[in-house]
Amino acid sequence: MELVSDVSALFGRHMRHLARIPEKLLSVTLMPIAYVIVFGVLFGSAISVPGSDYRSFLMAGIFTQMMLTNVGNTALGVAGDLGNGVVDRFRSLPMSRSAVLIGRTLSDVALAVIACVAMAVVGYLIGWRVHQGIPKAVAGFGILLLLGYAMSWLGALIGLLARSAEAVNSIAFMLVMPLTFLSNAFIPLNGLPGWLRVLCEWNPVSAVVAACRELFGNTSTGTGKGALPVQYPIPLSLALIALLLAIVVPAAVGAYRKAAAR
Partner 1 sequence: MDMVIEAEGIRKRYGDQEALRGVDLSVPAGTLLGLLGPNGAGKTTTVRVLATLLEADAGRASVAGYDVSTHPREVRRRIGLTGQYAALDERLTGRENLQLIGVLHRLGRRGAKTRADVLLDRLDLGQVAARPVKTYSGGTRRRLDLAASLIAGPKVLFLDEPTTGLDPTSRLILWDMIREQLAGGVTVLMTTQYLEEADQLADRIAVIDGGRVIADGTSDELKAKVGGERLEVTVQDDAAIPAAVTALREVTAMEPAVERNGRTLSVSLRDQLKTVAEAASALDAAQVRPIGFAVRRPSLDDVFLALTGGTTGKEG
Q: How far apart are CA 175 and CA 109, in angstroms?
A: 19
What residues make contact with partner 1 under the rule CB under 8 A?
2, 5-6, 9-10, 12-13, 16-17, 20-21, 84-86, 88-95, 260, 262
Residue nearer to partner 1 on the CB measure, 2 or 166: 2
CB of 248 to partner 1, least distance (A): 24
CB of 88 to partner 1, least distance (A): 5
Residue nearer to partner 1 on the CB measure, 9 or 177: 9
CB of 127 to partner 1, least distance (A): 39
- Of 86, 92, 111, 99, the closest CA to residue 21 belongs to 111
CB of 16 to partner 1, least distance (A): 6
Question: Containing H/E element for 257?
Answer: helix 233-257
CB of 262 to partner 1, least distance (A): 8
CB of 75 to partner 1, least distance (A): 18
Residue nearer to partner 1 on the CB measure, 104 or 213: 104
- Of 81, 74, 1, 67, the closest CA to residue 35 belongs to 67
Residue nearer to partner 1 on the CB measure, 93 or 196: 93
CB of 79 to partner 1, least distance (A): 14
Residue nearer to partner 1 on the CB measure, 8 or 170: 8
Q: How far apart are CA 178 and CA 181, in angstroms?
A: 5
Q: How far apart are CA 130 and CA 122, in angstroms?
A: 14
Q: Measure Cα distances from 12 to 7, 182, 187 in Å.
A: 8, 37, 39
Give 123's contacts (C-beta < 8 A, 6+ positions apart): 36, 40, 59, 62
Number of residues written out for the chain:
262
Q: How many CB atoms lie within 10 A of CB 259?
A: 19
Question: Containing H/E element for 48?
Answer: none
Instruction: Tell me the β-bridge partners of 49.
Output: 52
Residue nearer to partner 1 on the CB measure, 105 or 218: 105
Residue nearer to partner 1 on the CB measure, 134 or 260: 260
